[in-house]
Structures are given as C-alpha cells and as structure tokens.
Amino acid sequence: MHHAGDAVGLSEVLKELKVLKEQQQQLQSGQQQLLILEEQQQQLQSEQQQLLTEQQQLLTELQSEQQQLLTEQQQNYQGLILDLFHPTSSIASSKELKRYRDGAFAFYYGSSSCAAYTCMVTGMECSAGELVAGHIYRQQWPKSWLAKVGITLHDSSNIIIMQPQLERAFHKWQWIVLPGPDDYKVHVLYPPFLDDPMQQYISGNAGKGMRWQDIHGGKLKLPGLARPLRRLCGFHAALAIQNAEVQGWVPKGSVVLPDTSWDSPTCDKQLMQQFLNSVELCGAWRLQMSETAEDDSDAG
C-alpha cells in the first residue's frame, strides 16, 4: 500500500511538471511572438521615418523649385518694369518744347507772353528761352498709364518750369520733389552735388551761380495757385529713392516719401504701394541703366 501511494504521488508530480513545462513553452512562445511584434513595430517605425524623410526632402525640393520659379518671374517682371521706367538725361527739341511750355507758362504764371519768369526750383528770374518745361512723368514712359490718372503727357500739372541743367539732373533721378500737404520740397539725392566742390554748382561751372546746397531742403517756388500733381511727383520720387538706395547715394530708409503724395480721391494708396513694392529693382540692372542713361536718345 505504501508503494502504491508513492506511485500516485509521483504521477501527480510528473503531471504538474508537464503542465509547468507546457506553460513555460507557451510563455517562451509568447515572448518570442512579443519580440517578433516589437521587431515588426520597430521596422514599421523605421519605414515610416524613412517615408517621412523622403516626403520632407521632396517637399523641400518642391519649395526650392517654386521659390526659384517665383524669383525668375519676379526678375522677369522687374526687367519689364525697368524697361518701362528708367532715368534719362535727354531733352526735348525746341519745337516740341514750345508747344507745351507755353501752356505751362499760362497754367502756373497766368500768361505765356511775360518778358521774364522765375525758375520754379531756384527762384531765379529768367527769360522764357532760358527755361524748359520739365516733365515729371517722363515722355519715354508708358503714356497709357497716364490715362488711368486722367491726364495727358503734356498736361501742365505734369510739368515743372525749370532751367535745363536742373531738368537733366531731375530726369537722371539726382534730385526729387517731395509733395507735402502744403508745399513741395526739393531733395538732392546725388552726394557729389552736395560734397564735391567741382560739382556743387547747378550751372556746372565752379564758383558760378547757385549751388545745389542752396535748393536742397527748400520749396518749389510756385507763382500762383496752380500745383503739379502730387501723385506724379510722388511716383517719380519713389523710383528715384529706390535707385538712390541701390546706387549707395543714400542709406536705405533715410529718405521717406510723404503719405500726402497719394492724397487724391482717384488714387488708390494701397494699390500704388503694392506696385512700388513690386519694383524693388535688381541692383545690377539699376547700375547698368544708370550707366547707360547718358546714351538715351529719346526726346523729353
């Protein structure tokens, strides 16, 4: 009886060991499956990371290509604008000059047959033959744009009566008119006119006549109630200031165009500012056009 009981007890132990072994095998199998799942998860994460990296690289390449395309489009647009609006030193013929100068004399001075007139920039008294009708909006610039403002190219409000040497510098963007609420201020942009003893005289002859410093910061000498159009003075000044900054004549932001330049019920200030921002022209183009301005042979 004793041996039979031992056999039964041993059998139970063996059964328990078998169960434990099976459980251990199941546990090991579960651990292996868990390891496999972890490896698969890590591989999936690695593949996802690689995919994200590739997508990011593709996005970066697309953004770079898009930026390059936008830059090229902007440069093409700037080149077009530069072809349309650029400085020049040319003067109209005497026949053309008289045609619209007499109208400007009548507009500003009340008569086109006075014995003498005052230069609207220097205030010097001159004969009619010693003065020119300097266009603010240039004759070479697109005339169709003026139609949107409601005037013609030779409209007297697009003209300032001045001496020829002043007109040459005005059309080379070496000095500008800043239109304020009550007056029009003269601002010289070209440093040698103020600093170089050989170039500081308006006449071009050292020691003779008025100096550029004499008119710098002064006001236009308006003989009556008639005024040049502020928006045209502002447009000319805005382009000239950008050119002066690129040329290194003035520090960027040092010459500020008054908001009153666009004070007109028919002038969209926001649209004008967007246009001016879009013509931040390439420095190389500016320099090239400035250097070739002397060779410009178009009239006016």
**Residue numbers in the chain where pLDDT is lower than 50:** 77, 93-95, 279, 281-300
Burial 231-266 (b: 16+ CB within 10 A, else e): bbbbbbbbbbbbbbbbbebbeeeebebbeebbeeee
Q: In the 3-class helix/strand/coil scheme, how is 21-65 assigned residue by residue?
A: HHHHHHHHHHHHHHHHHHHHHHHHHHHHHHHHHHHHHHHHHHHHH
Q: What is the distance, to the nearest Å, from the Cα of residue 201 to the centroid of all Cα atoms in its chain?
A: 32
Report helix, strand and coil shares of the chain as percent, to nearest 5: 60, 10, 35
**Token pair belonging to 286:** 């500016």
Q: Provide the 8-state DSSP code for 294.
A: G
pLDDT of residue 267: 55
Domain that holds residue 201: 86-295
The whole-number pLDDT of residue 266 equals 54
58 CB contacts (<8 Å, ≥6 apart)? Answer: none
Tell me whether residue 22 is in a domain: no
Does residue 13 sit within a domain? no
Question: What distance in Å separates the CA atoms of residue 193 and residue 191, rounded to the nearest whole number?
Answer: 5
Question: Please, what is the Cα angle at 42 between 40 and 45, to 5 degrees?
Answer: 110
Q: 225 in a domain, yes or no? A: yes
What pLDDT score was predicted for residue 127?
Answer: 93
CA–CA separation, 246 and 287 (whole Å): 8
Strands (E), 213-252: none
Query: How many domains, the chain?
Result: 1
pLDDT for the residue numbered 66: 80
Q: Is residue 153 part of a domain?
A: yes
Do the domain assignments include residue 56? no
With beta carbons less than 8 A apart as the criterion, state whether 90 and 296 touch.
yes
pLDDT one-digit tens code per residue, 118-138: 999 999 999 998 999 999 998
Which pLDDT belongs to residue 124? Answer: 94
Q: Is residue 45 a part of any domain in this protein?
A: no
**Is 231 inside any structural domain?**
yes
Per residue in 252-286, pLDDT (tens digit) is 889 998 877 666 555 555 555 555 555 454 444 44
